[in-house]
Chains A and B, each alone.
Chain A
Amino acid sequence: MSDVQVSQPQGNPLKGRLGPRKIVIDPVTRVEGHGKVTIKLNEAGEVEQARFHIVEFRGFERFICGRMYWEVPVIVQRLCGICPVSHHLGAGKAMDVIAGVDQLTPTAEKMRRLMHYGQVLQSNALNFFHLASPDLLLGFEAPVAQRNIIGVIEAFPQVGKWAIFIRKYGQQVIAATGGRRIHPRLCIPGGVNQNLTVENRDALRKDIDQIINWCCEALELHKSFVHSHETLHETFASFPSSYMSLVGADGGMDLYDGTLRAIDADGESIFEGVRPVDYRDYLTEEVRSWSYMKFPHIRSLGREDGWYRVGPLAQLNCCAFIGTPIAEIARKEFMALGHGGLVHATLAYHWARLICMIHCAETIKKLLFDDDLQGTDLVASGQRRSEGVAIIEAPRGTLLHHYAVDHNDQVTSANLIVSTTNNNEAMNRSVTKVAIDYLAGHEITEGLLNHIEVAIRAYDPCLSCATHALGQMPLVVTLEDAEGSVIATRIKE
């Protein structure tokens, strides 16, 4: 922890002690940049507001300008080490639009879907088993030395097996569709560069039932945690909110394609059937000085009220049904948590994530028995366009890619709204809620840090892959007064 920036005391420290204070929590990441939590106290020493800062890698949009448009799906996954496959597919879909292709061949569409469902499966498995399960299964207060995947495996050996094999299976799907596990190549504008070989299909078919079973067993284990911690599960870092996700034309869950649906906290529609190309009519982005991230919000509701949540919880809340049988049963049971309304519990992200995993595994199975995947009609063509927008439901939620391309085929502008950005405001609110509930006095306890970690992890923000490996998230906590003077600092390796 040598690269931590701790705010320097300024102004009169005595004066500060009497006025509003600020607690800064600084999780430093190695790869994606670094994040920081600031908790601001009011004059009375109560929590006023909390912010979760992420330094997002924003150089991409500039870097990509001038490159040829067909390079983008391959370049984008290199520059963003977070969810390369989702970016590959997101940019790939945007380039279909540029190439004038609105309808892929069945083989191309299904190859992309297969890859996507493999990616969502493995990424959600990583979040749930490696990062979240130590908190959930061992308890938020378990000693840090134990609260990691190794500790979980000791207590629940089956979780280790699920963690390894479900993830590995998802990666195998990615390799079978894109040539390799990491940074695969499948998308070319208007289609794909390969079909699924019979050998790969047969190898994947062999294990898929086992994977579906394990996902279901994991859900059962998670439910037993929820049932023994009902109040905690319902209230921890929770609040009602709006939600947004893609849904299919029939209103069912569709993680690869569809139109945007947003609903308010009561489940009432805010907008429906919004095509990616029209996103700017419904969503707008605000830049705030204290964060490098953008704050997207729903235009009609304005800055204050227009924020929403994305990701597995939103995917579940927004869809009318799930088109695969086991996941649909699980969805109905899950929605019952909301007693007729939506489910707003922040920890329910994990339950929702497990249902998405089941849906992915079931969808993969369906695709593996679809002969279209061995088809040879891989690419469609159309009339070139100068702009392309595409949306995909990445493991962490709605991901948008928007590009403009000139007559020489070079990219002239790019705009990305990544899942974590969509959840910006929601993460701030969750951290605020935790601070209100768990901050006692001005001492930055380990318990507070742990709870903040757990709240942030529910959203699986991008920086989690780098810093949360084995459940470790380095934190620096600084207590500041009204003028930014440091009162206390606490570091958690």
Chain B
Amino acid sequence: MVAASFKFNIDGIEVEATEGQSVIEACDEAGIYIPRLCHHPELPPSGNCRVCTCKINGRHSAACVTPAAHGMVIENDTPQLTSDRRAVIEMLFVEGNHPCPYCVASGDCELQALGYRLGMVAPTQPYQWPERKIDATHPDIYLDHDRCILCSRCIRASRMEDGKTVFGFEGRGIAMRLNVDAQGGLGETQMAAIDKAASVCPVACIVIKRHNYQVPNGSRRFDKTPIGSDIEAKRTRRQS
């Protein structure tokens, strides 16, 4: 049975969606970019970063966990929402340690790219300078906890895709942090470099060893086009 299709409106644009799609999925397909961090197209949504928050029928809701529905009226690209998202991104920056200029992910990092896209110049919030250590116990992968933004992508990937439970959160609120399911660090877990969990991190927290800085400046993923351009290109293609 073919899923029923219906329409909703986002920033004045009609979007066609099918039953079962979330707002963010329908918009992605239509070539409309909603900024996001924890959402990953190949993983079930978790709704924990709130970057994708839109005004849906007048209420603030996370687009990645809100099912699309007929007749919805959504505000996405507005000055107020952009500023709210910028504030969220800023908090993520100051809660960890993010020295982009020398970071292995620079130019390829979703947090950094979103900072640029949303016009974040320098954080206005005070830096927290947390003290976190690298877990380099695994022969092929290391965890740089300084960069973790607690998006839970790795937890979902490990459970749903890899059938393992390598990652989990411990603590709550500001004290929450990523943990692995072995006392002796990542090296003692079931983790392998080919796992899905090793490739979904939006920042430089889960990093494959010895493959860093191989892409020169100017050729990295976000050097030429801002984050979201790939999604927006679908719409441009369709229009022309």
Contacts and interface: CB of A to CB of B under 8 A. Distances in A.
Interface of A: 66-68, 70-71, 74-75, 77-78, 178-180, 183-186, 188-189, 193-194, 408-410
A183 B101 CA distance: 9
A193 B213 contact: yes
Contacts of B213: 70, 74, 185, 188, 193
B12 to A, nearest CB: 40
A75 B217 CA distance: 15
B209 interface: yes
Q: 6 nearest interchain CB pairs?
A: A179-B217, A408-B136, A194-B216, A74-B102, A75-B102, A193-B216
A71 B216 contact: no
Given A74-B102, A78-B99, A68 B134 contact: yes
Contact of B209 (A67, A77, A180, A409): A409
B218 interface: yes
A96 B99 CA distance: 24
A380 to B, nearest CB: 13
Interface string B194-235: 000000000000000110111111110000000000000000
Given A68-B212, A193-B213, A194-B216, 6 more contacts: A68-B142, A68-B209, A70-B210, A184-B217, A193-B214, A410-B134
Interface SS majority for chain B: loop
19 contacts: A66-B133, A66-B134, A68-B104, A68-B136, A68-B142, A70-B210, A70-B212, A71-B102, A71-B104, A74-B102, A178-B216, A179-B218, A180-B217, A180-B218, A185-B213, A185-B216, A193-B215, A409-B210, A410-B134
A78 B217 contact: no
Residue from the set A70, A180, A193, A408 with the largest chain B CB neighbour count within 10 Å: A408
A70 B215 CA distance: 14
Contact of B212 (A71, A178, A180, A194): A71
Contacts of A186: 216
A71 B212 CA distance: 8
B212 A188 contact: yes
Nearest to B215: A193
B190 interface: no
A409 B102 contact: no
Nearest to A191: B214
B217 A408 contact: no
A136 to B, nearest CB: 36
A189 B136 CA distance: 18
B216 A179 contact: yes
B137 interface: yes
A78 B102 contact: yes
B26 to A, nearest CB: 38
B214 A188 contact: yes
A388 to B, nearest CB: 15
A214 B166 CA distance: 62
A197 to B, nearest CB: 10
